[in-house]
Amino acid sequence: MLTRTSTQSLTEQLADRFSERIRTRLLAPGARLPSVRECARQQGVSPHTVVAAYDQLLAQGLVEARRQRGFYVRDSIAAQAGPALSTVGPISGQAAAKPVPADASTLIRGMFHRPSDKPQPGMGVFPSEWLDSPFTAAAVRRVTSTRALKDFSLQYGEPAGDGGLRRSLATKLANINVPAGPEQIVTTVGATHALDIVSRTLLRAGDAVMVEEPGWALEFARLEALGMRILPVPRKADGPDLEVMERYCEAGDGHKPKLFVSVSVLHNPTGYSLAPGSAHRVLQLANKHDFHIVEDDTYSHLAPEHATRLSALDGLQRTIYVSGFAKILAPNWRIGFLAASPALVGRMLETKLLTTLTTPSLFERALAWCIDQGQLRRHAERVRLRLDGARGRTVKLALAAGCTLASEPAGLFGWVDTGVDTDALTQRMLDEGYLLAPGSLFHARRPPSTLMRINFATAQDAAFWKVFARVKAQL
């Protein structure tokens, strides 16, 4: 909070606060600052102080004043790169009013920037103490003998990834009925890298891609940065909106979809899982209209093995399966993978070679040991049990704070309706040291939203909800 006992003036404190948020992308390019009167009320200062702080931001080139509209964060990156590609609305054909920023990091830096040491309900990962297990260190020690380190350091690894890990992954996939031999698996630098390899292999600039909405902001931004035409598909409880998908496929405008990106199980941010009937219809559409499906199974370790997966039903004919281990094991190991048909996997490998050559073998071998020894399975079971308890506590706190659940709580994330504009709420909660994930972040055009995504593992803090209720009542 601003303090009158600081060596800095109130104007300097306020300008520094906004400057920090702009530089760390907690305020994205194009975002509107609060009006002078509203900011003065929020911060308990005079309008003159706010005007002086905004003048400092103008002088630093961080914001711009728009006549009779207010102050906005300058979009310096977009200005250098030229106008962003517009996306097209679901059926209307109208250009998007607010295209996704071309700089993908704009939408994600804030999700990994901690404004304080408090638990952060908007974070996208488990707290580090949940993932801390002695077996990861043991696994690394086993593969880092002097001879092994020398072998790893003096030559590149296998292009497709460590053979032992790919055999372990093939066995793991067989347990969820996804048929993929080691030769059909390519390891990657995390699941996001796997998604990028698929996009760069199958798509060209201007191609249309169907993406579930709400969905992960990074995927919207990543595809838009590659020059793709984004087609948002509303995500419902049982799966994607099939009528919208069919209308996209039958539009006849020369821009039929080439790809559909889906999170079938424990969808981010809603927690929905695909129903068998919807899965069959999606595959029928793919066969009829000749598009591929990327199934992002990032949250597979938190889901039951019997959950419906498109890759299992399709046998990797039109589907490409993607997953990783950052959510459940060791985010900084950066290990992901993709599984594809024999006809596609060679092309995927070529793209990997062009972008990263190979992936580091050391952590891949350590992960293979964790899988083969059953350590990863037992660890995931412990995390799931702990998450079940956290989910129950968080739901009670959210309801008591006046929120409603927009979807049945499941998995790591909750999709919560606050009843107020969560973009405004997010900026106010930053003043209190809490990072939120507003609903607009999960839509291609970032429309105003009363929804927010919460992390059940980090939102079970009663102190947060007390502050949340107070700030919400002020909006």
In the predicted structure, residue 48 carries a pLDDT above the cut 50? yes
Q: What percent of the chain has pLDDT over 90?
A: 67
Q: What is the pLDDT of residues 205-216, one digit of tens each?
A: 999 999 999 998
pLDDT of residue 51: 94
- Min mean pLDDT across 76-80, 241-245, 348-352, 406-410 is at 76-80
Q: Sketch out the chain's domains with CATH numbers.
A: 10-74 (1.10.10.10), 115-124+378-474 (3.90.1150.10), 131-373 (3.40.640.10)
In the predicted structure, residue 372 carries a pLDDT above the cut 70? yes
pLDDT of residue 455: 97
Pairing relationship of beta strands 437-438 and 257-262 according to DSSP bridges: unpaired
Q: What is the pLDDT of residues 267-321, one digit of tens each?
A: 999 999 999 999 999 999 999 999 999 999 999 999 987 999 999 999 999 999 9
In the predicted structure, residue 189 carries a pLDDT above the cut 80? yes
In the predicted structure, residue 156 carries a pLDDT above the cut 90? no
pLDDT of residue 110: 53
Torsion angle in degrees (nearest 10) through CA of 272, 275, 280, 286: -10
pLDDT of residue 446: 83
Q: What is the pLDDT of residues 237-250, one digit of tens each?
A: 999 999 999 999 99
Q: What is the mean pLDDT of residues 89-116?
A: 46
**Which one has a higher pLDDT value, 263 or 141?**
263
Give yes or no for a contact between 409 and 271, defined as CB atoms under 8 angstroms apart: yes
| Confidence band, pLDDT 50/70/90 cuts, at residue 109 | low
In the predicted structure, residue 38 carries a pLDDT above the cut 60? yes
| Distance (Å) of CA 6 to CA 21, 211, 412, 430 | 20, 48, 40, 20
Instruction: Tell me which residue of 260, 254, 169 sits closest to 212, measured CA to CA.
Output: 260
**HEC sequence for the chain:** CCCCCCCCCHHHHHHHHHHHHHHCCCCCCCCECCCHHHHHHHHCCCHHHHHHHHHHHHHCCCEEEECCCEEEECCHHHHHHCCCCCCECCCCCCECCCCCCCCHHHHCHHHHCCCCCCCCCCCCCCCHHHHCCHHHHHHHHHCCCHHHHHHHHCCCCCCCCCHHHHHHHHHHHHCCCCCCCHHHEEEECHHHHHHHHHHHHHCCCCCEEEEEECCCHHHHHHHHHCCCEEEEEEEECCEECHHHHHHHHCCCCCCCEEEEEECCCCCCCCCCCCCHHHHHHHHHHHHHHCCEEEEECCCHHHCCCCCCCHHHHHCCCCEEEEEECCCCCCHHHCCEEEECCHHHHHHHHHHHHHHHCCCCHHHHHHHHHHHHCCHHHHHHHHHHHHHHHHHHHHHHHHHHCCCEECCCCCCCEEEEECCCCHHHHHHHHHHCCCCCEEHHHHCCCCCCCCEEEEECCCCCCHHHHHHHHHHHHHC
In the predicted structure, residue 23 carries a pLDDT above the cut 90? no
Instruction: Tell me which residue of 360, 343, 352 sits closest to 200, measured CA to CA.
Output: 352
pLDDT of residue 304: 85
Q: Which residues contact 427 (CB under 8 A, 6 or more apart)?
A: 21, 27, 34
pLDDT of residue 258: 96
Give yes or no for a contact between 441 and 107, defined as CB atoms under 8 angstroms apart: yes
Name the pTM for this structure.
0.85
**Which one has a higher pLDDT value, 444 or 370?**
370
- Min mean pLDDT across 25-34, 57-66, 211-220, 444-453 is at 25-34
Q: What is the pLDDT of residues 50-78, one digit of tens each?
A: 999 999 999 999 999 998 889 999 875 43
pLDDT of residue 100: 38
pLDDT of residue 447: 87
Q: What is the mean pLDDT of residues 421-435?
A: 89
In the predicted structure, residue 112 carries a pLDDT above the cut 90? no
Q: What is the pLDDT of residues 118-127, one digit of tens each?
A: 889 998 889 9
Mean pLDDT of the chain: 88
| Confidence band, pLDDT 50/70/90 cuts, at residue 94 | very low
